[in-house]
A and B are shown apart, each in its own frame.
Chain A
């Protein structure tokens, strides 16, 4: 029996090719993710090992920085060879044009350089700064700013004052990506404290004297440092850093594995379909084997063996493909998302190899199980029948199928509704997604029931265009609903997910754009420079004053914010200056009247109606009466928890500094002229970041389009597998219909028309998959958006252009998938094909 199976495998190898490719792609994605994770982990490990080099005891700051005195106390301890305080904080470095060097609109860093050379987390080329006027700069920034040792650099303190420093050396962080992309200035800790206001240390690192046990030393360090600080040995610290690294890498890999799972599910459908069709075609062969004495078990075993061999081969190639995919993931994450995954040579451990091979075999065998069971039911007599009757599914089975499908869809819908209505947005989103998956399963179960009718419906316009050949194609696509359903299911999954992602991302984009401009008619939103901890530099009121003096601007509005507690919870409230409110800035009131805003009153976002709120600022609680609800989104500062009047904000304790200054260009002033004017006003204020609303929204568009592209890329594998499935089904059908095609050719179907019927059949399958997928995405996309972003009152947007593109892509790609089978069918000689049994 084994010999028969292997001989069969050899002859059917070409027909199993598509299956093997599906396995390779599915396994490749998963193996690639695992290889990527292992490699990234190794890279992170190296990075963090450098950070804790030579460290025997580490003291990490808890909530607050470690006081300066702690370092002196640690240094005084017995068994300490050396101890150093490490301090890092945001510090803006100016480029040659006097503007801050930023990355993702954020200022760079300063790190402390004093202390024991052996304990530094970086190497120094040159010498460390000796006095207040000297500094180091990281190699990369020095490179792209064209700075060399001896040059002068300028940094900004928190008030925006410039400080020139002489470059005395360069910082080399090696493979560490901790500060990758940001400028890093090396300064003595005291100097950093003076410039940024940061006092104390983030970490104190200790090198033990020879013969001192790090564990014991850690014990003696603990009482010497502030409460809340985390004291650990160097080894522990390194282990913990490695674990942190692992969690970073694991986050990526979990997301990637979800996509890998999608690819595998799609692959399962393709494999299942191939075996189902192959075995249906081989009924005669199987029956003959049964005739000559093969038992059911042997028939079953033969199919399982065959699938296991294909799965093993596919799994092996998949692991190889995984290495390539791992490289691709590095490029994708670092290139598109700027994830800063450290570079490392590919780590190919036994785990991904074993996982790949196992997955290949298990997935393929599982997918082939049902067809194999069906094959065992072949009666020996079937060998004697001429043509297999057209598959007509029994009424009872159809009803059972329908019942199961309805059950799934109903359960899914119930869970979805529960999620959508639940108070907790995060748990709700999870429920919506879970319900969505269950409902989708129901859809897949029901697919054989509706796919025929849907094909006919989609085929109506196609028939108009392509006439009789299209009618033949529609009939062919409908003849075996199970097969068509399994083939299109792959596209339903892939395109459904793509559509869902597109709807969610387009809605996020639209919502974010609302947040950006807040519907206000402004052209510029000037903010202070952002620092690492989410804090921002303030803008001195002189900036707004100078801006008002310029004739290029028709209106200028100042926005001030204050961090407070509302009803006990931390929140940020804001106010717009009195002159602009009601003029340049008109609040979009949902209820109430903006005119009623004054002392003792407040406007809150719509949602939970409240008669009043209690605002606690500077230890003082103030009760404010709610006079209306409105969207409280302000360009440049996002959504605020509440809006109060200008005077009320001052009364609550806000200082005379603006968070955002908005400006509207006067009519007739060209965008370039207004931009030049605002840049000129901003020049004396190096901390001011001028953003045009147009720039911001085009940046946003770019970012979101990038994300859509990324998801499309990740789901692309699934789509490619699905298309192999379409090609596979078609080419197997072509084999099956050899004589029919010849008859059609004999009675007058031209070669081109025969090719046409197959292309049309493929397009129909593509469109059916796309229609169902898109319909699903259009239902679940908005549900996910509405649930996940309920807090910010999201705008749901259906990206029609994208969806039309998706539809066209599905049609075009399936057409492409049909090219080879169509050519094969058309090139067959009529006479030879007529003789085919």
Chain B
């Protein structure tokens, strides 16, 4: 099954990001951002135990855009949550690498240490946007850094805000923003601290296709132009085509991988998976 994945190596993205240089190619030896080894996650005990992840090993390259796909209930969200240190693992390790290549084993960290690490080293984009309704867009964006007691780099802040087109929306509260704008605020929040990795769980799931594309474009650009690492869970083959690599999950196991995916190749592979 695996060798087939390499056939698609040369088929580039079919959508508007073609002009961007690809940094995540398989030929290049790249530094890892997150390495997951033998990850198992079991929910519950006894008869009701659910093996959501069953010995998953995967590495997300620094500066790469990876999409995680698979049928519903295959463990995509679980993998993401464990890799992001939001959830505990049953066994296995999750290593997060900083810019100098130094690894931190997330599975060995306590809750407070994990929380502090999430402030600056991991960014999140959720399907439901999850902005704080009481804070303005600007306050939402700077929240993680403020919690870390750090000041955002003004230049970088300006870049992120401008790239996302949020300049004239900064003083608004989330309920005064459209869904797409809210998700762009969430993206800005995730990127402002220049984290080692950004995790996005179905970021376009609640958006129409046009605004969804805008968000995906931005994620793509942040990888290509800003050197960001992005890991995205999605059900949508078109969305997956923005990534430079797709990993496929089924029944808690890594079953396939597509480099330089296109919407068609992804759809094809998913069909073969029986999804």
Residues of A within 8 A of B (CB): 387, 389-390, 467-469, 471-472, 475-476, 478-479, 739-740, 742-753, 829-831, 834
B165 CB within 8 Å of chain A: no
B residues less than 8 Å from A746 (CB atoms): 86, 118, 124, 130
Known: A390-B173, A472-B134. A747 touches B189 (CB 8 A): yes
Q: Is the CB of B147 within 8 A of A468?
A: yes
Partner of B143, one of A468, A750, A752, A830: A468
Known: A475-B134, A478-B134, A834-B130. A748 touches B112 (CB 8 A): no
Partner of B119, one of A390, A739, A747, A834: A747
A residues less than 8 Å from B255 (CB atoms): none
Q: Is the CB of A834 within 8 A of B126?
A: yes
Q: Is the CB of B112 within 8 A of A750?
A: yes
Q: Is the CB of A390 within 8 A of B112?
A: no
Q: Is the CB of B124 within 8 A of A747?
A: yes
Known: A479-B133, A479-B134. A831 touches B147 (CB 8 A): no
A residues less than 8 Å from B118 (CB atoms): 746-748
Q: Is the CB of A752 within 8 A of B87?
A: no
- Cα(A830)–Cα(B114), bound, Å: 12
- Cα(A753)–Cα(B115), bound, Å: 10
By beta carbon, the residue of chain A nearest B189 is A747
Q: In which size bucket is the chain B interface?
A: 20 to 34
B146 CB within 8 Å of chain A: yes
Q: Is the CB of A752 within 8 A of B81?
A: no
- Cα(A467)–Cα(B116), bound, Å: 15
- Cα(A387)–Cα(B175), bound, Å: 9
- Cα(A773)–Cα(B213), bound, Å: 55
Known: A390-B173, A472-B132, A830-B86. A749 touches B115 (CB 8 A): yes
Known: A740-B133, A743-B126. A748 touches B116 (CB 8 A): yes
- Cα(A166)–Cα(B135), bound, Å: 88
Known: A472-B134, A743-B130, A748-B118. A829 touches B144 (CB 8 A): no
Give min CB distance, A455 to chain B, whole Å: 12
Partner of B116, one of A472, A739, A744, A750: A750
- Cα(A752)–Cα(B147), bound, Å: 13
- Cα(A717)–Cα(B93), bound, Å: 55
B residues less than 8 Å from A749 (CB atoms): 115, 147
* Nearest 5 A/B pairs, CB to CB: A748-B119, A475-B134, A743-B130, A748-B147, A750-B115
Q: Mark B102-138, 1 if CB is under 8 A from A, else 0.
A: 0000000001100110111000101010111111000
By beta carbon, the residue of chain B nearest A479 is B134
Give min CB distance, A466 to chain B, whole Å: 12
Partner of B115, one of A740, A742, A748: A748
Q: Is the CB of B135 within 8 A of A475?
A: yes
CB-defined A-B contacts under 8 Å, sample of 8: A469-B147, A739-B128, A746-B124, A747-B144, A747-B189, A748-B148, A753-B147, A831-B81
By beta carbon, the residue of chain B nearest A743 is B130
B16 CB within 8 Å of chain A: no
Number of CB contacts from chain A to chain B under 8 A: 77
- Cα(A469)–Cα(B148), bound, Å: 11
B149 CB within 8 Å of chain A: yes
B residues less than 8 Å from A831 (CB atoms): 81, 86-87
Q: Is the CB of A752 within 8 A of B189?
A: no
Q: Is the CB of B126 within 8 A of A468?
A: no
- Cα(A468)–Cα(B146), bound, Å: 6
Give min CB distance, B232 to chain A, whole Å: 16
Best-buried of A469, A476, A748 by chain B (most CB within 10 Å)? A748
By beta carbon, the residue of chain A nearest B147 is A748
Q: Is the CB of B175 within 8 A of A389?
A: yes
- Cα(A622)–Cα(B119), bound, Å: 92
Q: Is the CB of B144 within 8 A of A750?
A: no
Q: Is the CB of A829 within 8 A of B133?
A: no
Partner of B175, one of A390, A476, A740, A753: A390
Give min CB distance, B8 to chain A, whole Å: 33
Best-buried of A747, A750, A834 by chain B (most CB within 10 Å)? A747
Q: Is the CB of B132 within 8 A of A744?
A: yes
Give min CB distance, B115 to chain A, whole Å: 4
- Cα(A655)–Cα(B143), bound, Å: 87
Given contacts A740-B130, A746-B130, 14 further A-B contacts (CB under 8 A): A390-B134, A390-B173, A468-B146, A468-B147, A475-B134, A476-B134, A479-B133, A740-B133, A746-B118, A746-B124, A747-B143, A748-B143, A749-B147, A831-B81
By beta carbon, the residue of chain A nearest B136 is A475
A residues less than 8 Å from B189 (CB atoms): 747
- Cα(A834)–Cα(B86), bound, Å: 10
Q: Mark B77-111, 1 if CB is under 8 A from A, else 0.
A: 00001000011000000000000000000000001
A residues less than 8 Å from B116 (CB atoms): 748, 750
A residues less than 8 Å from B135 (CB atoms): 472, 475
Give min CB distance, A604 to chain B, whole Å: 65
Best-buried of A475, A476, A739, A750 by chain B (most CB within 10 Å)? A750
By beta carbon, the residue of chain B nearest A750 is B115
B residues less than 8 Å from A739 (CB atoms): 128, 130
B residues less than 8 Å from A753 (CB atoms): 147
- Cα(A747)–Cα(B186), bound, Å: 11
- Cα(A169)–Cα(B116), bound, Å: 85
- Cα(A468)–Cα(B134), bound, Å: 13
A residues less than 8 Å from B173 (CB atoms): 390
- Cα(A742)–Cα(B189), bound, Å: 15
B residues less than 8 Å from A468 (CB atoms): 143, 146-147
- Cα(A479)–Cα(B132), bound, Å: 11
Q: Is the CB of A830 within 8 A of B134?
A: no
B residues less than 8 Å from A471 (CB atoms): 146
B residues less than 8 Å from A479 (CB atoms): 133-134
- Cα(A468)–Cα(B173), bound, Å: 18
- Cα(A745)–Cα(B115), bound, Å: 7
Q: Mark B231-247, 1 if CB is under 8 A from A, else 0.
A: 00000000000000000
B residues less than 8 Å from A387 (CB atoms): 133, 175
Known: A748-B119, A750-B116, A751-B112. A740 touches B132 (CB 8 A): yes
By beta carbon, the residue of chain A nearest B77 is A831
Give min CB distance, A62 to chain B, whole Å: 75
- Cα(A18)–Cα(B245), bound, Å: 54
A residues less than 8 Å from B175 (CB atoms): 387, 389-390
Give min CB distance, A55 to chain B, whole Å: 76
A residues less than 8 Å from B112 (CB atoms): 750-752
A residues less than 8 Å from B143 (CB atoms): 468, 744, 747-748
- Cα(A831)–Cα(B81), bound, Å: 7
- Cα(A753)–Cα(B130), bound, Å: 19
Q: Is the CB of A829 within 8 A of B87?
A: yes
Q: Is the CB of A750 within 8 A of B111?
A: yes
A residues less than 8 Å from B134 (CB atoms): 390, 472, 475-476, 478-479
